[in-house]
Amino acid sequence: MKKNLFLLIFYVSAATSLNGQQLKSTVSGTVTSSDGSPLAGAFVVAEELQTGVITGNNGHYELKGLKNATYHLCFSFTGYETVIKEVTLRQNETIDATLNESVVMTGEVVVSSTRAGSSTPVAYSNVDAARLQRNDMSRDMPYLLSLTPSVIETSDAGTGVGYTSLRVRGSGGNRINVTLDGIPLNDAESQEMFWVDLPDLASSVSSIQVQRGIGTSTNGAGAFGASVNISTLTPSNDAGSEVNFSAGSFGTFKTTVKGSTGRLGNHFSMTLRASMIKSDGYIRHSASDIKSASISTAWSDARTIIKANAILGSERTGIAWWGVPQEILATDRRYNPAGEYVDANGITRYYNDEVDDYLQNHYHLSVNHKLTDNLTLNAALHLTTGKGYYEEQKSDQTLAEYGMGSFTIGDSVITETDMVERKWMSNMFYGAVWSLTHKSATTNLTFGGGINRYDGDHYGKIIWMQNAGPYIPGYEWYRNRGLKDEINIYGKASTELTGSLSSYLDLQVRYISYSIKGNDDDQRDLDQNHYFTFFNPKAGLFWRNGSGSEAYASVAVAHREPTRSDFTDATGDATATPKAERMTDFETGYTFKTAPLAFNLNLYYMHYHDQLVPTGQISNVGYSIMTNVKTSYRTGAELSANFKPSRKYGINASVTLSSNKITDFRNYYTEYNTSDWSSSYIYKDLGTVDIAYSPSVTAMAEMEYTPLTGLSVRLTGKYVGKQYYDNTMSNDRKINPYFVNNFSADYTMKTKSAADIGFKLLVNNILNHRYESNAYGGMWGEDGVEKTWAYFFPQAGRNYMVSVNVKF
């Protein structure tokens, strides 16, 4: 660990010593609108340094510590046209800028109601399209966000292609709310975000905001660890096309084709994209065949933008979610137990169609209209359709467990047989979201909400049986339906109290109705209904001195309903029915920005009441259940910095130090007496323990060097500390710390026949480190001795990707 942290420190110290020239001058000024009103929160960036500051409440800015040289200052503000001014510094200079309202509103306006603004008192990071595309060669979104503070990414197949997920501050995917243009994306029942169902989404994204903690009120399931707010690209005003080819290790190949009509008739524009991704995966039998397409159209004038988006995706992925058994990990890291079986001759074979096959399409229609100069309406209709299955080979299955009776073939009574089953999902998610925003000189008010319905069928079919008897292929052995309705209404107010201090108030009410009807795959009757009403208040203060210093403090409350599996696992035991969770989030932060340096410190304390965690407890009908624990918390500090002393050199770094605890934890397990293999179900009180999947240290650093125009090279390092995959804090049940380094380079050249041609090289895990980023497991006892079972998810060693991108 000391070696890993030393390397991170080396990255930081190396960058700070790359340029030792003395910095001398300051440029300052005021940014106003065309009517003379100061624009608070406008960005002022020195393009040569790619760093800058945000204007204060009086529109004033200061860029300090600049070398005497020529700079191009970029002044920008949402909804206004960008202005670039050239300044040659020989001494301190005053440069004012006046911005005019944009003739065409941008996509960023569409999602502003769910995003944190420059003076919103929450912890957040913005990732723009340039950064996404710089790192996008084939891997899913969690890997493109991996350098965001407190983020940990993982991949079932070990390569970042296929099933991937992320955690933020230790909170998993079903506690992270994801929206696309303000429209919820999480599966309503599991509350998970399945990134594999939106392949190559980064190619259609203009920016992403990651809010840590509770964040602002948003549509969809309540954010219980973070929110990821994604904004799609608004079709370009200029016609053009783009082709990208990427290829690399493990048979990974990606093709993306994009085209734009440009602005037609001064109002209409359209962009098309088609993508294909293939990969064999690092883990055997985890190959992915993924296809995606998107169509985005927009009509706009000076006051209105209407967008229609269709995002289509299909994936066929080898099942790798079982992981690698702990006892095999040391000898065969690429082993995959999914699909393995022994035939009648005792030969071990694999079922080649052990796959997950799913099709998901998204359709969005949104309108953003300025009713007056100060009042804006944003509304959208959405529809998501999905259908697919995962297919598995099963040996020696008892017919009665599938609701089938025994039958006779010749002189044999058949009570069990080999079979191939498919578990299907067919669902629709649809609804509407809206917001009304009023802006004045001192106050911004937003009133909005959403109404959504999820309608999903779960059912299973037997497509093959070794001894079928009277049962024809396609026999359906279970079916159940989930119906979930959600209504949320929120109001937000941001008010300037003084020239440097503003307040923030955000109130949300969510109502959820959820019913399940039918039988499960084990023939249990799942019929149940659940209703929740949540009140989620948030308040805070934000201070800005106009000279680079900012600070905030906030408190927020959020609630989260249990997931489908939380309910179904507890079915049959009324005492085990889970309760909703509540979290109170206290946050404070300080930011300092100058031309070469940006520094940020966030402190947080997230207090949970009735958090649902695995305790080893089982219901009275024998199923493992999630249990509400009375008190748990996460507290920590997030430190991030960006230093760019010159146009050639730069470093971006962050570290999160945290303590994540459950108090008064009781662990349940089965104890066996090996003399007669009798068993007893017992528990131990372990006191205060670490929350599973919550390392106390995560850190990253990225060094960038631009030796020539168009050429950039980067070296990144990421450290993730020790974490446990259950709540017992046993060293037998932990994920070891790991430190991974990546190298990338890209070069862009101009040609006569094309606008530009770009080349990229990415070397992942350059030190060929053997590590696992995820695991799951549990324990039992034998004669008072703890035993462990576990499955791990190894990640690929050194691997490569190359890419060619041509823009016309």
The DSSP annotation for 647-703 comes to: SSEEEEEEEEEEEEEEEEEEEEEEEEETTTTEEEEEEEEEEEEEPTT--SEEEEEEE
Task: Evaluate whether 780 touches 671 at the Cβ level (below 8 Å).
Answer: yes
Residue with the two structure tokens 């340096």: 597
Residues of the chain with CATH 2.40.170.20: 239-807
The Cα–Cα gap between 130 and 136 comes to: 10
Report the pLDDT averaged over residues 83-109: 78
Report the pLDDT averaged over residues 9-30: 59
Structure tokens at 547: 């000279």
Structure tokens at 275: 């993508």
Q: Compute how many other C-beta atoms are within 10 angstroms of the C-beta atom of residue 166.
A: 25
Q: Which H or E element spans position 528?
A: strand 528-544
3-state secondary structure at position 68: coil
Q: What is the pLDDT of residue 137?
A: 82
Q: Which of 164, 177, 232, 161 is nearest to 203 (CA)?
A: 232
Q: Is the pLDDT of residue 113 over 70?
A: no
Q: What is the pLDDT of residue 431?
A: 96
- CB environment 681-720: b (16+ within 10 A), e (fewer): eeeeeeeebbbbbbbbbbbbbbbbbbeeeeebebbbbbbb
Maximum mean pLDDT: which of 128-142, 295-309, 713-727:
713-727
Q: Is the pLDDT of residue 72 over 70?
A: yes
Tell me the backbone φ, ψ of residue 113, rounded to 5 degrees. -70, -25
The DSSP annotation for 740-767 comes to: EEEEEEEEEE--SSSSEEEEEEEEESTT
CATH classification (class only), 239-807? mainly beta
Q: What is the pLDDT of residue 49?
A: 75
Report the pLDDT averaged over residues 696-716: 94
The Cα–Cα gap between 422 and 465 comes to: 12
The Cα–Cα gap between 368 and 302 comes to: 11
Q: Is the pLDDT of residue 704 over 90?
A: yes
Q: Residue 261 corresponds to which amino acid? A: T
Higher pLDDT, 33 or 558: 558
Q: Which of 507, 464, 463, 504 is nearest to 488 (CA)?
A: 507
Q: Which of 207, 235, 244 is nearest to 130 (CA)?
A: 207
N residues, the chain: 808
Cα dihedral 295, 299, 300, 306 sign: negative
3-state secondary structure at position 132: helix
Cβ-Cβ contacts under 8 Å for 269 (sequence gap 6 or more): 234, 235, 236, 237, 260, 261, 262, 263, 297, 298, 300
Task: Evaluate whether 505 touches 483 at the Cβ level (below 8 Å).
Answer: no
DSSP state, residue 108: H
Label residue 76 by pLDDT band (50, 70, 90).
confident
Q: Is the pLDDT of residue 14 over 80?
A: no
Give bridge partners of residue 505 from the DSSP assignment. Answer: 493, 539
Tens digits of residue pLDDT in 398-407: 999 999 999 9
Higher pLDDT, 464 or 20: 464
Q: Which of 609, 620, 629 is nearest to 692 (CA)?
A: 629
Cβ-Cβ contacts under 8 Å for 500 (sequence gap 6 or more): 56, 57, 543, 544, 545, 546
Give bridge partners of residue 804 from the DSSP assignment. Answer: 245, 759
The DSSP annotation for 204-261 comes to: GEEEEEEEESS-S--SSSPPSSEEEEEEEPPPPSSEEEEEEEEEETTTEEEEEEEEEE
Q: Residue 183 corresponds to which amino acid? A: I
Q: What is the pLDDT of residue 11?
A: 47
Label residue 418 by pLDDT band (50, 70, 90).
very high
Structure tokens at 678: 């009798």
Tens digits of residue pLDDT in 243-260: 999 999 999 999 999 999
The Cα–Cα gap between 637 and 302 comes to: 44
Report the pLDDT averaged over residues 492-500: 91
Task: Evaluate whether 589 touches 551 at the Cβ level (below 8 Å).
Answer: yes
CATH classification (class only), 1-102? mainly beta
Higher pLDDT, 82 or 6: 82
Q: Compute how many other C-beta atoms are within 10 angstroms of the C-beta atom of residue 42.
A: 25
Q: Compute how many other C-beta atoms are within 10 angstroms of the C-beta atom of residue 559.
A: 20
Give bridge partners of residue 151 from the DSSP assignment. Answer: 168
The Cα–Cα gap between 554 and 534 comes to: 20
Give bridge partners of residue 457 from the DSSP assignment. Answer: 426, 481
Q: What is the radius of gyration, based on Cα positions, of the chain?
A: 28
Higher pLDDT, 596 or 535: 535
Residues of the chain with CATH 2.60.40.1120: 1-102
Q: Compute how many other C-beta atoms are within 10 angstroms of the C-beta atom of residue 345.
A: 6
Q: Is the pLDDT of residue 6 over 50?
A: no
Percent of the chain scored above 90 by pLDDT?
Answer: 71
Q: pTM higher than 0.95, yes or no? A: no
Structure tokens at 738: 């790991």
Q: What is the pLDDT of residue 110?
A: 54
Task: Evaluate whether 286 touches 793 at the Cβ level (below 8 Å).
Answer: no
Rounded to 5 degrees, what angle do the CA atoms 151, 653, 73 make?
115
Rounded to 5 degrees, what angle do the CA atoms 176, 179, 180 make?
145
The mean pLDDT of the chain is: 90
**Weakest-pLDDT range from 544-548, 599-603, 611-615, 771-775:** 544-548
Q: Residue 441 corresponds to which amino acid? A: A
Sheet strand arrangement including 176-180: 123-128, 205-212, 226-232, 176-180, 183-184
Report the pLDDT averaged over residues 491-511: 94
The Cα–Cα gap between 42 and 100 comes to: 13
Q: What is the pLDDT of residue 102?
A: 61
Q: What is the pLDDT of residue 16?
A: 45
Task: Evaluate whether 765 touches 251 at the Cβ level (below 8 Å).
Answer: no
Task: Evaluate whether 538 touches 579 at the Cβ level (below 8 Å).
Answer: no
Q: Is the pLDDT of residue 352 over 50?
A: yes
